[in-house]
Amino acid sequence: MVDEDYTILNVCNKSLRSIRVGYTLPIPLKRDRTSLGPLFVKLGFKRGAEIGVYKGEFSKVLCDAISGLELYCIDCYERPRYARREKLAHTTLLPYNATFIKKFSMDALADFADGSLDFVYIDAAHDFDNACMDIICWSRKVKPKGIVACHDYYYFTNSGVVKAVDAYTHCHHIDPWYVTTEVTATAFWVKP
């Protein structure tokens, strides 16, 4: 599975770039987001951040897949009703090398140097403005050849993730880029 995912990325990056000039539609991968963990292992990634952790379920998937992962879990848990989610996340990730940063995504940016992360997985506020800001600002924190990923690339009430990802990939000439084929899809690309 890992070799197949890695091969898909290599083949797409090498062969489709020349024939897709100016074409910024995503390439669908018959995978779900859990396949990112094995892909990150193959790429040697050891340091990443998840922006919007919720209960820590996907953070755990990444930590289980990537031995020794240094994962930064950024979530503001701003409302009192989120206290239970925060506690679940801490409990779930206790056995791993996960560092919680209880801040809004824009406030946590100062904690990271540009190019210091192997990957970022964005799953915070889903409205257009916040999704755009997270993509623009957190992409800077990822090293060249690292991966920027955005969860919930699908249309739902008050969501702007699809438009934010489409705008960013178009304006930054990201080609190719990929989308998992699941209901709550993840869009991702290799940072130039």
User: The CATH number of the domain where 164 resides is what?
Assistant: 3.40.50.150
Is 44 among the domain residues? yes
pLDDT tens track for 3-52: 555 554 554 454 334 334 445 678 998 899 999 999 999 999 999 999 99
Is 110 among the domain residues? yes
Neighbours of 107 (CB within 10 A): 12
Comparing CA positions, the residue from 58, 66, 12 lying closest to residue 32 is 58
Say yes or no to pLDDT of 54 above 70: yes
* Domain span including residue 45: 2-12+22-190
Say yes or no to pLDDT of 191 above 80: yes
DSSP conformation letters of 139-167: HTTEEEEEEEEEE--S--TT--HHHHHHH
Q: State the total domains in the chain.
A: 1
Q: Supply the pLDDT for residue 25.
A: 79
Is 17 among the domain residues? no
pLDDT tens track for 110-140: 999 999 999 999 999 999 999 999 999 999 9
Q: Where are the alpha helices (DSSP H) in 43-117?
A: 57-65, 83-93, 105-108
- From residue 20, how far is each of 15, 26, 76, 173, 176 by CA, in Å? 9, 11, 39, 11, 8
Please give the Cα distance from 33 to 27 (Å, whole number): 14
Is 104 among the domain residues? yes
Is 186 among the domain residues? yes
What's the whole-model pTM score?
A: 0.88
8 A C-beta contact, residue 189 and residue 176: yes
